Structure formats: structure tokens, C-alpha cells
Structure 1
Amino acid sequence: MKELYTGNLYWPETLDSAREFEPLRQHKKTQVAVIGGGISGTICASVFINSGLSVLMAERGQVSGGSTLANTGLLQFSNDIMLCDLIDQIGERDAKTFYRACRDAIHLIEQAAESLAADVGFRRRSSLFYASTEQHLPKLKKEYEALKACGFDVEYWPPEEIEKHFPFRKPGAIVTHGDAELNPFQFVIGLVNAAAQAGLEIYEQTDIVAHDTLPSGIHLLRTSDGYVIEAEHVVYAVGYEPEELRGKLIKAEMSRSFALVTGIQNSLQSWHKHFLVWETARPYLYMRTTHDGRVIVGGLDEHIEQPLQSGKQRLKRSEELHGKLKALFPELQAPIEYEWSATFGESCDNLPFIGADPAWKNVYYCLGYGGNGTVYSMLAAHIVRDLICGDKHPLTDIVKLDRKSLTNA
């Protein structure tokens, strides 16, 4: 099993216990088999089961035990690729369709969170996207105009306005309204419990080691224990490229990032309305607050796939992130309490891989690839649900695995 993170994670500390599910111990038949029990698989399975499909979810480890634990829980409709750049890349109509769908996905996540019995930390937030240098200002203003023209609720703040609301001054910033934050671990556990009550079959410690297709089109998934799942449709929601694709994703790049969570701060009064904060520099610094008064900071991305093993070197990165936080918010003095390094993937066109396998009927992929993993997971659930039901989602051609923007990038 590929190691997805190293370090001391925060989210597991926010929940006393999670329900455990038995491994698969018999042959099964289902309409849809979802492989993967992280945030992508769980959102997909939840949407599918609530759409009237019969669904089985198989997770080789524990539900929410992979990349979900290293997710920092920022939900934004803005992407790693700016709207103005995406317009140049795929055209104005498709770029605006994609950005609006990301905004709508946050609303769908909100609906899902509010339907759960427990509070999973969903809070509506605005974001401050600031220019890291004066040189970035023209591009930032261009992005503001593109977002405004697309109908988003945005503001442009000059240096004086930033300084009025925060204890730092930057050349300029876009404020986007309609973003949110979430406890991803609690969200997945809540969704799993609700979906199980709705009829979702969930099996942990169930590793799919073979996938064959009968002439009839039925898919046979064999587990490492020798049991077989017969499924009409198979959805791979395994985070990043599974063996079944065998290197078919074009120029997908794996990297690692770093994150920390501080202790509880004495005061967060200087943090205007708990905005999500990020910047134009690449790799970018990003940060948010938590409901109990902590700060989560992430960044320092490196083009190395494996998360950093050395605790000493990880702490060095964490201290660098902590220093960047204190440079912006000097009064925040609570120390680092949690820190980790995690693997993440990027596609060459900065869009996720979602949709049908071009050469394998009724096989689908929900692979995030990018900074908006949770938002992409909700998009994926609805795109694939529509494909299974014989409908076509507006994003199908934009994010499909054989899209033109991959070969043009």
C-alpha cells in the first residue's frame, strides 16, 4: 500500500471513535461497486445510494484512513489554475461552466453536511487571495475582472483595505465570497454512517486484486481473500492513478506538501471573519482557522512523490510554515502541535480526472488531482452518477480522461 502521509495528524483527534466495518467474507452482486473509502469514494457512494442505486463500497484499509486524514478542509470555488488562465486554455464557456460547478459543489457539500446528525465543522467562509508581489498585481486584477464577469460575488481590495482588516499589508487581493471550511474526517465518517443506514454495503480491509469483465459486460472484482463482487458498474475512487489505468493518464505529476496545526491561540481577533487566506505565489501558502481556535497552515510543495520520512526535516518545514504565519499575524504565538507531509497529484492542465474509461465500458474514475479535492469529489459523484444513469453532466467533456486539453498542455 502506497504511503500517502507521514507525521502527526490533527483530524483523528477531533473524533473519539469511528464505526468499524467487517471485511467482505462472501460473494456479492451489486449495481455499482465503488473502490475506495476516502472522501471521493464516500461522497460518490452516498450520492449513488441516495439516487436509488444499489451500491457496495470496498476499502482495502479503513474508511477515511488515507489522504482524507491529510486534507486541510478548505473548500473554494477558485482553483490552482486561475479562471482567466482556464479561459485561455479551454475557452470561456467551458472555463466558466467549470468554475460555476465548483461553486455549486460547495453548496452540495453544505447540503450533505447539514443532513448529518453530527456537526462536521462545515462553516461558510470568504477567502482572501492576495498578490504575493507587486509583479503579480496585473494578473490578480485580470482574475478579478474574469470572476466578476462570470457572476461571482467578489471584491477587489487595495493595500489600504487589506491593512484595515488584517495585521499585514499586501499589494492587492481578491476577496471571494461563497467558500467554506470543513472537518473532512468527521464529514466522511458522518456520510458513511448515514449511507450505511440508507443501504450502502461497506467493507473495510477488502483489497481488490483483480478486475475482469465477462462477455455480458458484468465486472468481476476479486478480493485478496478470494471473494468475488459482481457489478454492473465499477467506480475507482482511489485518490490517484490506480493500476488499472497502467500509466494512461497524460503527464500526471505527484508531489508532496506540508501542513501544520497550531495549539489553541489566545485570540484570533486580528483574523478578519475567519477568512481562508492564500496567495498568488507558486507554490502557495494557505491557511485557515478551526472552530476551537487553532490555525492550519500548508504549503512548501516539492516535486517529490514520497512524503518526507525524516521527523527532523519535517519539523524544519513546519517551523518555516509557522514563521510565515507569524510574519502575517505577529500576535499568534501558539506553538505547532500537529505536523505532517502528504502526497498529492496534479494534472498537466490543472483539472481533475473524472469520468468513464475510454476503452472499458461501465468503468469510471473519480481521481481528484489538484488543490480542490473535496470539491472535485462532489463534482465527480454527480458526473459519474449521471453517466451510470444514462445522462450527461455539463462537465463530462471538460474533465474526461481523454479530453483535448491534456494533449494540448
Structure 2
Amino acid sequence: MTLHYGSLYWPSTRPNPPAYPSLEGTARCRALIVGGGMAGIMCGHVLARSGISAAVIERDRIASGSTSANTGLLQYSNDMMLSELAAQIGEADAAAFYRECKAAVQQLGLTAGLLARDVGYKPRTSLYLASSEADVPKLRREYEMLDKHGFGVEWWDAERIQSEFPFRKPAGIVTRGDGEINPYLFVVSLAEDAAAHGLAIYERTPLLSISGQKGRFIAKTPSGTIESEFVVRAIGYTPEAASHPWINARLNRSYVIVTKPLPSLADWRDRWLLWETARPYLYLRTTNDGRIMAGGLDEPHSQPVTTGEELNRRSQRLLSEVRKLFPAWGQELQLAYGWCGTFGESADGLPWLGEDPLRPGCYYALGYGGNGTVYSAIASRLIRDLILGEEHPAARIVRLDRRSQNRT
């Protein structure tokens, strides 16, 4: 399945990442991870640094799938507002999940600090903007619930927003404790560190089948087999590979542009992350080398566009939206990169993380939703804890057979 189309920015920041061999012959490990993207490599890294023998098999190259098209926004607020999530799963569980997301952002920052290479991690503040006057009441409800549960948010009215930015919006919520990262550089660097701590990585090694049960799974590949006690499926936005009755993902496509570097970003307060209440929504961030990255225009199609003309039409629309927000930059805003990528969502907006109730010893790390990197960070610790027989506070909320995922 093709997951993206267009010119990707992130791989240009490290054009020759380390290569890993294909699997030849037989191998053994305690945990086999299927998938070498964000979730798979994060799981492998945590397991390896926890002293658990693990291996990753990837059908292509590490970070070559949706990780390359990831925009690298790290936010604890979700596509589904806390107030909306509370209506689905209860206020206590919703707040607990948001706290796990906020802790995961902090974990990502700490992990980035362990790596030998600068992976573009920066702590950031976010501004969640009301797209119209009609959206102000629901945004206010969200602010009040976030404030109630101690997330340290601020409410900005239109005048305050206009005093800090070159645009006017009806209202906004300021959230702190978010961040940004170069997702591609993060994953390939994380893989290097994990390999140095014992993680076996096999590229160009597609999975053909898995047989057996907890304690002794046998995974077959075109040129070898791996025996493991546990299996972790971190298969990204290819839900057909999950072959599971509870994993019913909605696949959509989204668009991203990256501008040429600007001489100055002085009009952009502290390079905050910006996003809005409209659905589909617009979101913006900056990059280390002074570019603007903007995304949105989501469409209900599972495959990316296939022609430059289709892509350019949406890219120009995104560029027009950025110019509306920052009119002083005008023609200085020039396209450098643009792509269309597939992403998945669950019915309740939560990821699928944890053990398969139908197949003990088999775990899923599917970070579906707008916060896939944050969900992957949760998955890595959660699955490590479950393998060690320990409890994780989010396990019950994100389990595969939760009731809320069947709601529409």
C-alpha cells in the first residue's frame, strides 16, 4: 500500500541513514516487533534499553512509511477534545488519558536527549484557535474542562490573539507542555541507539506468516524465520495486516507543505504550534532552518493522490491559508516541498495498544489518530510493562476490545 505521494522534507535532513541487513536463516529473541516505523522503533528502543531481547523486521527501510510524512507536532490535546472524549468514556478516564499523553510528550523529550544526534526536539506552547464565532462555545467548554483537571491552560480572546500575532481569531486556548521533533531523524537515530543496546534490526524483510502461541511464536519471512516469546504488531496505517475483528480503522488522506526558509520568523511568537477547531483543520509549525510547515485539507480517501496536478492544487490552497495568517510575508512564502499522506483513525479517537485478548502474547502498537507519535510513546512503555507482567495506567482505556470504539 502506498502511504504518501510528493516531495518529502524530512528525509532530506538525513539523506543517507544507516542500512540494516535482511534476515537470513534463523534468529531468536524474546519479543519480535513487526514494523520499523515510529511505533515499532520506539517499542524496540524501550525493550532493548530495558534489557529485553528484541528484534524488528521491516518490509522496506526504517522510517520509510508514514514516519517520513509525519509533521512532528507533539501535543497532548487530541483531535477529539477532552470534553468530547469525556462524553464517550467518562470524565475520569478521559482526563487520565490526556495526562498520559502529556507525560508521553515529556518522555519523548527525554528520549531525544539520550541520542547522539540532534533530532530537532523543541518544547513548544500551542495555540488552539476557534475557526469561527460559532466554535467559541465548544472551545470554551474545552478550556473549562482542561482547567478543571489541572492542565494549566489560558483563555485568550480575539484582542489578545491579535496583540500577539498578525491575525485575528475569535478565541483560543494556550496549552503548555507540547513540543516538536523531526520524526524521520528521530526514528533513524533511535534505531541506531537501540541497535547499540542490542536491538536486532532487519530491513527489507517482509512478514509472511506467524504461527504458534505465547512462549513460542514462529515468524516466517522470505529468507528466514524468527522464534520469539512475544509478538508486537506495529504495522502503521495498513490495518489489513492486522487481520483483527476489533481493528476497524478509517483511512483518510491529508496534505502538507513546507516553505523555503524565511529571513525571519519574528512575527511568529516563540514559534508556537498553531491549530484550529474547524474540521478538517489547519495546523502549522516551524522547522529548525526557518521554514513553515502547514497541513490539513483532510479527505475521506485511503490512497494519496497520484498526480502532481492534484497535489499542487491542494498545496497552493494550504499556502494561501498561511499567507492569510501572515500577510506581511506575502510572496516571501514560497513552496519547497509538498506531499499527500494516508493516516488512520479509530471510531473513538483512541489508539489500539496492548495485548490481543484472542491471542495472548501478541501485542498491538497502532497509534491511529492525529497524535501518532505521542501514542507510540505510550505504546512503548505500555507493551514493555505488559511483557514484564506489570500494570500500566492507560492499558484499560486503549485496549483492543474497549466498548467505546464501537460508537459512532
TM bucket (normalised to shorter chain) is: over 0.9
Note the C-alpha offset of 1:408: 3.5
**2:328 alignment counterpart:** 331
Residue correspondence of structure 1 range 1-400 to structure 2 within 5 A: 2-213=1-212, 217-225=215-223, 227-243=224-240, 245-249=242-246, 251-332=248-329, 333-400=332-399
Once residues 251 and 10 of structure 1 are traced to their aligned partners in structure 2, the CA distance between those partners, rounded to angstroms, is 31
Note the C-alpha offset of 1:17: 1.9
Residues matched between the structures, number: 406
**After superposition, what is the alpha-carbon deviation per residue over 1:141-168, rounded to whole angstroms, capped at 9, x for unaligned?**
1100111111112110000100011000
Note the C-alpha offset of 1:247: 4.9
CA contact (8 A) 2:235 2:242 kept: no
CA contact (8 A) 1:109 1:378 kept: yes
Once residues 130 and 305 of structure 1 are traced to their aligned partners in structure 2, the CA distance between those partners, rounded to angstroms, is 28
Once residues 390 and 21 of structure 1 are traced to their aligned partners in structure 2, the CA distance between those partners, rounded to angstroms, is 31
Tell me the TM-score normalized by structure 2: 0.98
Shift in alpha-carbon separation, 1:245–1:189, aligned structure 2, 3 A: closer
The one-letter code of the counterpart of 1:255 is N
SS at match of 2:160: helix
The one-letter code of the counterpart of 1:338 is Y
Give the gaps of 5 or more residues in structure 2: none
Once residues 240 and 2 of structure 2 are traced to their aligned partners in structure 1, the CA distance between those partners, rounded to angstroms, is 15
Shift in alpha-carbon separation, 1:322–1:238, aligned structure 2, 3 A: same
CA contact (8 A) 2:66 2:237 kept: no
Note the C-alpha offset of 1:240: 2.8
CA contact (8 A) 2:305 2:311 kept: yes
CA contact (8 A) 1:266 1:334 kept: no
CA contact (8 A) 2:130 2:170 kept: yes
Once residues 95 and 309 of structure 1 are traced to their aligned partners in structure 2, the CA distance between those partners, rounded to angstroms, is 38
SS at match of 1:350: coil
SS at match of 1:145: helix
Shift in alpha-carbon separation, 1:50–1:347, aligned structure 2, 3 A: same
**After superposition, what is the alpha-carbon deviation per residue over 1:256-299, rounded to whole angstroms, capped at 9, x for unaligned?**
00001000112211111100000000000000011111000000
**After superposition, what is the alpha-carbon deviation per residue over 1:192-223, rounded to whole angstroms, capped at 9, x for unaligned?**
11111111111101111011015x74100000
SS at match of 1:281: coil
Q: CA RMSD in A?
A: 1.1
Once residues 244 and 190 of structure 1 are traced to their aligned partners in structure 2, the CA distance between those partners, rounded to angstroms, is 26
Once residues 126 and 172 of structure 1 are traced to their aligned partners in structure 2, the CA distance between those partners, rounded to angstroms, is 16
The one-letter code of the counterpart of 1:204 is E
CA contact (8 A) 2:323 2:333 kept: no
Once residues 60 and 105 of structure 1 are traced to their aligned partners in structure 2, the CA distance between those partners, rounded to angstroms, is 28
SS at match of 2:201: strand
**After superposition, what is the alpha-carbon deviation per residue over 1:117-174, rounded to whole angstroms, capped at 9, x for unaligned?**
1110000110010000000001111100111111112110000100011000010000
Once residues 193 and 35 of structure 2 are traced to their aligned partners in structure 1, the CA distance between those partners, rounded to angstroms, is 17
CA contact (8 A) 2:347 2:407 kept: no
CA contact (8 A) 1:3 1:307 kept: yes
Note the C-alpha offset of 1:243: 4.2
Tell which deviates more after alignment, 132-141 or 15-24. Answer: 15-24
Give the gaps of 5 or more residues in structure 1: none
Once residues 172 and 406 of structure 1 are traced to their aligned partners in structure 2, the CA distance between those partners, rounded to angstroms, is 31
The one-letter code of the counterpart of 1:70 is A
Tell me the TM-score normalized by structure 1: 0.97
> Percent identity, aligned pairs only?
46
SS at match of 1:264: coil
